[in-house]
Structure 1
Amino acid sequence: MTSAKSVRVRAATEADRAAIVLLRETGFGMRYGPVELEEQGRLFPVERSLVAVDGDQVVGHTVDITMNVTVPGLQTVRACGVEGVAVAPTHRRRGILRALFTTQHARAAAEGLPLAILTASEATIYGRFGYETTIHDTVVRIDRRRAEFRATTPDPGGVTISTMEAAKSHLRQVYARWQQRTPGAQERPDAKWALLFADPDRNRDGATSLYVLLHADGYALYRRRYLDGRPTVVLWEMRAITTEAHAALWRVLLGMDLVDTVEATLAEDDPLPYLLTDPRAVTLTRRGDALWARVMDVPAALTARSYRHDLDAVVAVHDPFRDAGGTFALRVRDGIAACAPTSRTPDLTCDINVLGGLYFGAHRARDYARAHRISVTGPMVLDDFDAAFATERAPELGWFF
């Protein structure tokens, strides 16, 4: 058995590209098509990759790019977007991921990035590195035959059908408007748009290519398939900037003939069930984690977003992975935060994971306290802290990576 000492971490080169693809395909159990290989290479350049090598064999990999993500208060923050984390099945349990992440996160800190974010294939890996689920989504199945809209639900119309080719400019324009007002949503790079427009077969899971619905303030991309013998619409992506666009698009999706079921992934606060006379027509099939976050720099991250309640608190943060914690005086006035190290006695203590979980507003501080993950000196401190971090709307992931 190869020892951990025989494995070293280094920056990847173009010569490693084929080995990285093989490792990723082995680790995630899939095959890339030519278009995916080309666009993924543009999206996550090999010069941003780190590899773990055992002799001349690539046995571990991670890569990152800088993403611009909207935070509460609708400011945009630069974040380290981590992707392609894989360790060869022949080299597990040898500290390879820790070695890769140590190097990668030191680089992100040197680049001054206050946050690191990732999407996770497994939920038990990243907590030990200071990450926490920070955005959730819900997968629902809608019985179209029972989906009757309430009399109070608007019927604004304005939806048209289109082709992907004809819709490209409109999709990009609507997404940019939506991203700027949606906490958790990232700017979508050209390479990611190219992947969406290419619509690779691997994304279809036996369904059709994408159909397109357009509204002046929104769009919906969907597929058709048979699921358990039932004709089904699978909603791939919907972006609605206004409540009118949201209602108009859903009226079309739930009004289609030759469809029994609509499957969709929704934000946690999506109002769809409230638009229908029978909310049981919308059945929750899965609640999952859409994004994980890690605070890299406590003062920089906490002062980058805004808050809904004034706050004066001294917060002690534990960070056993990177030692980026400490004790900080956090003061919020009119939504704007000031945060700096202090020697004062803390009012509230938590692991750095908790700050990542609270950051976009998906979790509440009071729930972490009930789970014994926040300790406080008194209930008033917790009430103020909870109210400050609460957000007006649930965050949403812009695009999966």
Structure 2
Amino acid sequence: MVSAKSVSVRAATADDVAAITALQEAGFGIRFGGDENEFRGRIFPVERALVAVDGDRVVGHTVDLPMTVTVPGDRGVRVCGVSGVSVAPTHRRRGILRELYGAQHERTEAEGMPLTIFTASEGTIYGRFGYEVSVLDTGIAIETRRAQFRSTTPDPGGVTLETPVDVAPRIREIYRRWQQVTPGAQARPDAKWDMVFADVERQRRGATTLFALLHADGYALYRRSAREGRGVAIVAEFRAVTPDAHAALWRVLLGLDLVELVEAEIADDDPLSYLLTDPRAVQVTRRGDSLWTRVMDIPAALTARTYRGDLDTVLAVHDPFRGAGGNFALRIRDGVAECEPTTRDAALRCDINVLGGLYFGGVRAKTFAAAHRLLAEDAAVLRAFDAAFTTERAPQLGWFF
């Protein structure tokens, strides 16, 4: 396949690895350390990569990995996880990304995966390809001097300080339990776990190697750093399966010696601020997207998850990129959906990226309606649609890719 600018897209080979690395380093403004290259190649094998070439020069790249992601209803669904999307700065605005994504999505459709997901470096590019933000997270900073727990906050104990690699099997098992009940979270492959426990230098960003706090039902991986004379603990990963594990881990984190500031990321339904006497101690430092989603097969995707309300409606979906849209009859009873193409008139209308935003429960249907991106002929239909797509648990990204 050849673009209008005579740049061709083909499957990558082992001979392209050095050029792909150089392209990604330039595109993302980083230098990969020698201690992580082995892991990168194992996580995203070159056999799953596509490159755009201008003559013999690699000027574009994308790679994917089939992933298992938890959808509402605690079901694991096989999806396509896309990574490493980059175009050379010398070849911008020549349609190369569209060519790459066209080839990428053709393969995903052929492999029968109902969703495509990725973590994005920019927010203005991917809507035209049918993607939308589906999982949000919040960066926080807590000054430990202000972090006093309420008298009603449990103090379960049971936390031990560990070296991460020494308790790797226990951490992996806790993550598996957490991932299986958290919408948006992916199963983590062995190669990615190996990279976590290798604790490659680039991930440290000037801080220490990882410390681990371990509870029977949760863990926290964190680093220590100094900033403007203050001790800082940077939580790299926090996973708690139970409320007791959540409270126990945070009690230790906020009581670390010689630490004046703790930084972390939390989900929308995290109760941390309500465990403290001063909820303002939990300061929001960042609010952003952690996962983008595109629905590839509407009936397959909508019937893969469960719902929280009954519904019987017709949804019109517009997909200008891949033509996966149309009118679809969506019937939900007792949480289980049936969905099929129909010639009936639609009661709701949206672009396909809206379905991606709704899918894991991270964005409400009524929010898209208020933004004039989900159109409903009847307010009652919108309320029922909104209620059906809500989730008991806020979605979270499992691991960044």
When the two structures are superposed, what TM-score results if normalisation uses the length of structure 1? Answer: 0.99
Query: Which amino acid counterpart does residue 159 of structure 2 have in structure 1?
Result: V
Spell out, residue by residue over 1:121-144, the C-alpha distance to the aligned partner (whole angstroms, 9 max, x if none).
000111110000000000001010
Unaligned residue ranges in structure 2 (runs of 5+): none
What whole-Å deviation, never above 9, does each CA across 1:45-99 have from its counterpart, x for those lacking one?
A: 1011000000000000000010000000000111110000000000000000000
Deviations for 1:206-242, whole angstroms, at most 9, x for unmatched residues?
1111011100011100001112332111011011000
- The answer to whether 1:37 aligns with 2:37 is yes
- Aligned residue in 2 for 1:177: 177
Q: Which secondary structure state, in structure 2, belongs to the residue aligned with residue 263 of structure 1?
A: strand
How far apart are 1:4 and its partner, in Å?
A: 4.1
What is the alpha-carbon distance in structure 2 between the residues aligned to residue 321 and residue 165 of structure 1? Answer: 45
Q: Which residue of 1 is the match for residue 188 of structure 2?
A: 188
Aligned partner of 1:119: which letter? T
Say yes or no: does 1:73 pair with 2:73: yes
Report whether the alignment pairs 1:197 with 2:201: no
- Check conservation: 1:4, 1:96, Cα contact below 8 A: no
Deviation readout 1:240-288 (Å, 9 max, x if unpaired): 0000000000000011121111000111111000000000111001101
Question: Partner letter of residue 22 of structure 2?
Answer: L
Q: 1:167 offset after TM fit, Å?
A: 1.1
Distance 1:268 1:332 in 2: 26
Residue type at the aligned position of 1:21: T
Distance in 2 between the 1:79 and 1:88 partners? Answer: 28
Aligned to 2:222: 222
Task: Say which SS state the counterpart of residue 182 (structure 2) adopts.
Answer: coil
Give the corresponding residue for 1:213.
213
Match of 1:151 in 2: 151
Letter of the 2:32 partner, please give it: Y
Please report how far the alpha carbon of residue 5 of structure 1 lies from its aligned counterpart in structure 2 after TM superposition.
2.6
Cα distance in structure 2, aligned partners of 1:216 and 1:157: 10
| C-alpha contact (below 8 Å) 2:141/2:284 kept by paired residues | yes
Equivalences for 1:62-101 in 2 at 5 Å?
Answer: 62-101=62-101
Q: C-alpha deviations, 1:173-218, integer Å up to 9, x for none?
A: 1111111111110000001001101111111111111011100011
1:167 aligns with 2:167: yes
Which residue pairs with 1:269 in the alignment? Answer: 269
Maintained 8 Å contact 1:308/1:390: yes
Alignment match, 1:128:
128
| Number of residues of Structure 1 aligned to a counterpart in Structure 2 | 399
Q: How many Å separate the matches in 1 of 2:241 and 2:390?
A: 22
Moved over 4 A (4+): none
Pick which of 196-205 and 101-110 moved more: 196-205
Tell me if 1:111 matches 2:111. yes
The alpha carbon displacement at 1:296 in A equals 0.2
Q: Secondary structure at the match of 2:209?
A: coil
For the 8 Å contact 1:25–1:31, the answer to whether it is kept is yes
Equivalent residue for 1:354? 354
Distance 1:34 1:270 in 2: 37
Q: Give the residue type in structure 2 aligned to 1:217.
A: D
CA contact 1:35–1:195 (8 Å) conserved in 2: no
Distance 1:176 1:163 in 2: 20
Q: SS at the partner of 2:193?
A: helix
Contact 2:148 2:278 in 1 (8 A): yes
Deviation at 1:300, TM superposition (A): 0.2
User: Is the 2:5–2:94 contact (alpha carbons within 8 Å) kept by the matching residues of 1?
Assistant: no
SS of the equivalent of 2:100 reads helix
Aligned-residue sequence identity (percent) comes to 67
Q: Does 1:52 align with 2:52?
A: yes
Hey, what's the Cα distance between the residues in 2 that align with 1:45 and 1:204?
A: 24
Structure 2 match to 1:382: 382
- How much has 1:334 moved relative to structure 2? 0.2
For 2:264, what is the secondary structure of its paired residue? strand
